Structures are given as structure tokens and as C-alpha cells.
Structure 1
Amino acid sequence: MTIQFQNQTLNPLIANLEIFKAYQQSPYLSLKHSAYFQVYEELLSQYRGKSITFVEVGVLNGGSLFMWRNFFGPQARIIGIDFNPLAKRWEQDGFEIYIGSQSSSDFWKNFFSAVGPVDVLLDDGGHTNEQQIVTTHEAIPFIKDGGLLLVEDVHTSYFKDFGNPSKYSFINYAKQFVDVVNSRFPGVQPAPQARFKKAVYSVHFYDSIVGLSVDRTKCFTSSWTSNEGQTFEAEDYRHHDSAARQLNQALIKTFHKVGLKVSMGKFLKLVEAPLVKNRLKRFFK
């Protein structure tokens, strides 16, 4: 079942979300893709009714500012950023407005110097690679623990009009944070953007939205633990699903008979690993 809404097909799940109701109640124009509302509801509901500082890059007609006020409640400090000086008009409605280029590191330095740390920053600005990457890079250090950085419209990373596909697209930049999160595990090599491994706790990829959860208290080096329970010394069967294992064992015994000392681990690395790699190629096409 679907609902026709302003010449668009709207999933009924969206219509019942609190954030969508807040969107409809806004007195000024706001344009949002329907899939975004379920992401907002999932990630941002935890901040409702709280004294948070929320920043939105990209004010345009002001409609989303009122949506956020409706959704978060009167205790929220809502700040808008835009490159168009006309956005200052929204200050008369109680919003804080800053004018500047989101692709400028100097702008962000001055912004955070004036505003201080924030709970949530939502980038709905110009959607270029540079704008999204600079905003993310400069904002992470100023997101409070338990906060979020959300970047919208990352589908532009696939659009020719935005200079993509490119090695330097925002989505490729964002993928590095998967390595950042995993680089906290002992023995994993440092990743690009490793400077953020003590700040970014988790990464969320949605349809056209990337979210970074920031919480420095949770970004620690993992260590082995044991509950000291009873053990039956069970054999590790991780390699027993190998079709070549029995053959490998026979070959190793043959090597040993002629004086070549080869361990199973070394044999698997030298002989079986290339075969496995070749079998896996089909999953990366």
C-alpha cells in the first residue's frame, strides 16, 4: 500500500514518523527525500526534548529549521549555516545564523570558536566532494561525546555533474572511517584518517546519508578477555571446511618424509591462500 502525496509516492511507514509530522508542520518550504525521514527518526530521536546544540548546513528557504525545532522541542539550540546572506532573516525567528563557505577551513575555525562544541551537525549544503569532506574533517573534533555528524545527499558521489565517480569523492573518503574504527584493534595497521580513531566510535551508511557517531569514551584499544570458565580443549575447526585440507596433510607428510619441514600454517599460506583468493574474486566484481 502506498500514499500519493503532492504528486509523489510516499511509503506509509514514513507518514507515521514524528519527524515527518514535524516536516509537514513547518510553515516554510523544505525539500527532503522520503528515505531520509526514517534515518532521522532512527538516529535523532534520542535528542528530543533535550538541551542540545544542533547545526544544519544549508538553510535555503528556512523550512527545515522549523522542522528541527518542531522535532527537538524548545530546549534545542538550532543553528543554521548558509553562504547566502539572505539567510540572516531567520534570526528574527529565534535561530542563530552564520554566513560562510563550508569548504573553508578558516570559516569552520571561526564558527566553532564562536559556537563551541555541538551535539549534532547535519550537512545539507552544497553536496560537492570538497564541501562535504572539509565539513566532516573540520567538524569531528567539535562534536560532543554521544553526538553525531550526518552528511546528506551523498549520492552526488556517483554523479558526473559533481565530478564523480572520483577517487576523491566524499563516499570514498567516508569509507576510510570503516578502517578507522577497525584500526583500534591490536595489530591492525593505522588507517587513513587515523587521527580520528579516538573520536569516531561507529559509522552508518544509509541511502544517500552517511553518519558518524562520535564518542571518545568508547574509542579504546580492544583487549582479550576470558570468563575463566571450564574448557574441554575443543579443537579449532576453522580450516576444516577446506576442500584441499586432506590433500594438504598428505602432501605435508610427504615433504616431511624427504626432510622438508613444512607446517600446516605455512603450507596454507603458500599453497591454499592463492586458491582461495581466486575463488573470492567473483564476490568483488
Structure 2
Amino acid sequence: MSLYEMFINNTGRPIHKSGHYFFAYERHFGRYVGKPVTFLEIGAGNGGSSQMWKRWLGPLARIVAIDINPVCKQFEDEQVAVRIGDQSDAAFLQSLIDEFGTIDAVIDDGSHHMAHVSASFDYLYHRIASNGVYMIEDMHTAYWSEYGGGRGDPRSMIERFKGMLDDLNADHVRDGTVVPGHFTHRTIAMTAYDSILVFEKAPLINKVMKIIGDDSLRVNY
């Protein structure tokens, strides 16, 4: 059964998702199905999504859900751990890493406020697995002032994403205005969907340009 089928056939705890999100979910998190994975869900909601991730990812997956609402603690089971805390609190986020080890994948479905989204990303992204995936959903809120966003507002995660395209390609910037850093050397892809941003890491990115083949057949322009 596909993840989307699990969603539309759900009869358990409520799951609040947009149907078009499932293309991105299956595309970026499908690699973890049936594998040992530590999957961090920011925002426990009503507990239904954690159960969906557990069923889809399989028995080797450890789901860690966080929320500021203590009521969410009741959603724990043998595969789902729930911790109560603020997604923008660096000490709390570090406590998750201390307890559960390296996190392989993150889905931020928390407060959707720009300050919180940025704080979580800034602390966690460089600390997740070297081949990890970091997804932020419901980023239509990046255009809403009540969430700290707005088109062109530098606080908006979508505006940050636009600027980070230069960081992704910093190795090729010749005027020194962008300096390659950890993000440049560890990020293999950035993908944007309607309301979703995805960052994918790789432990080694081979950027060496080569010409392979019979050099005598090369056409000079």
C-alpha cells in the first residue's frame, strides 16, 4: 500500500495533510522504507501522522515526534517516542540527539512560524546524517505576516531558500560574494514544491569535471 493509500484509508487518529504532499513524501522518504531509520517529526498533531510513518517505513523505523503540547505524550508506543519541548530550543533539540543518536530524516510540521522553522533548521541540518533529508512543509505560511513571513520578507524561509541556492553553488561563484561552507560541501540538492521545501545531503559530492572517451573524436568549437 502506498503512503497516500494509507492516508486516505486512515480510520485511526486524525491526520491533517494536503493530498499533493504525498508525491514529495514518497519521492524523498521512500529510500527509508524497510530500513533502520531515525525519523524526526516536528509537530505531533493528533498522533495520526506518526502512526502513518510507522506503518509505511516499517518495523525497523524509530519515529521521534516532538510537540509543545503535553497531551501528545499519550501517542507513544513501541516505535514512536514523543518528547515535549519547543522546536526552536537548541538545548531541547540537542537532547534528542543525545538520546536517540543521529537523526536520518526530519519533517518539520510544527508551528510553521518562520522564527521557529529557521531555528530548527539552523540547529539540526548540520547535525543530521551525512546522507539525510530535511523537509519543511506548509510553507504557504512563509507568505503570511501572522507567521512572520511575507513575500520578500527576509525572515521568510522561502526567501532564505532562494538565497541558499547561491550557497549550494558557491564553489562556482568567482567574485567572492558567496563563500563555500559546510552547506555547500554537504548539500547535494534543494527541491521546492508548492508549500514544501526539501534539502538533501551527501557525504561526498564529486564535482570534478572530466572528459571521458576518445579525444580524437572531440569537436572543437
Q: For 1:250-261, what aligned pairs fall within 5 Å after superposition? A: none
**Change over 3 Å in CA distance of 1:81–1:192 after alignment to 2:** farther
The answer to whether structure 1 residue 194 and structure 2 residue 188 are counterparts is: no
CA contact (8 A) 1:69 1:76 kept: yes
The answer to whether structure 1 residue 184 and structure 2 residue 171 are counterparts is: yes
CA shift for structure 1 position 39: 1.0
Aligned twin of 2:106: 121
> Within 2, Cα distance between the matches of 1:199 and 1:46?
18
Larger helix share, 1 or 2: 1
CA shift for structure 1 position 38: 1.1
Equivalent position to 2:25, from 19, 24, 40 = 40
CA contact (8 A) 2:61 2:79 kept: no
The answer to whether structure 1 residue 145 and structure 2 residue 133 are counterparts is: no
- After superposition, what is the alpha-carbon deviation per residue over 1:120-143, rounded to whole angstroms, capped at 9, x for unaligned? 110000001111111111111222
**Change over 3 Å in CA distance of 1:33–1:114 after alignment to 2:** same
Aligned twin of 2:64: 79
**Change over 3 Å in CA distance of 1:34–1:232 after alignment to 2:** closer
> Within 2, Cα distance between the matches of 1:144 and 1:119?
5
CA contact (8 A) 2:41 2:109 kept: yes
RMSD: 2.1
CA shift for structure 1 position 192: 7.3
The answer to whether structure 1 residue 108 and structure 2 residue 89 are counterparts is: no
- After superposition, what is the alpha-carbon deviation per residue over 1:246-272, rounded to whole angstroms, capped at 9, x for unaligned? xxxxxxxxxxxxxxxxxxxxxxxxxxx
Q: Which secondary structure state, in structure 1, belongs to the residue aligned with residue 158 of structure 2?
A: helix
> Within 1, Cα distance between the matches of 2:176 and 2:136?
27
Which deviates more from structure 2 when the two are superposed, residues 225-234 or residues 133-142?
Answer: 225-234
Equivalent position to 1:208, from 178, 195, 208 = 195
> Within 2, Cα distance between the matches of 1:146 and 1:26?
34
Report percent identity of matched pairs.
Answer: 27
> Within 1, Cα distance between the matches of 2:69 and 2:186?
32
Unaligned runs of 5+ in 2: none
- After superposition, what is the alpha-carbon deviation per residue over 1:197-252, rounded to whole angstroms, capped at 9, x for unaligned? 2222110101100000011222x5x33423361266633xxxxxxxxxxxxxxxxx
> Within 2, Cα distance between the matches of 1:108 and 1:123?
13
CA shift for structure 1 position 160: 2.5
> Within 2, Cα distance between the matches of 1:58 and 1:224?
42
Normalized against structure 1, the TM-score is what? 0.70
Structure scoring higher RCO (CA < 8 A, sep ≥ 6) equals 2
- After superposition, what is the alpha-carbon deviation per residue over 1:138-161, rounded to whole angstroms, capped at 9, x for unaligned? 111222132200000111111122
Aligned twin of 1:265: none
Normalized against structure 2, the TM-score is what? 0.89
Equivalent position to 2:158, from 168, 171, 181 = 171
Aligned twin of 1:234: 220
Aligned twin of 1:243: none
CA contact (8 A) 1:119 1:143 kept: yes
Aligned twin of 1:156: 141
CA shift for structure 1 position 113: 2.0
> Within 1, Cα distance between the matches of 2:197 and 2:12?
28
Aligned twin of 2:75: 90
**Change over 3 Å in CA distance of 1:157–1:186 after alignment to 2:** closer
Unaligned runs of 5+ in 1: 1-16, 236-285
> Within 2, Cα distance between the matches of 1:145 and 1:112?
14
Q: Which secondary structure state, in structure 1, belongs to the residue aligned with residue 40 of structure 2?
A: strand
| Rg larger for | 1
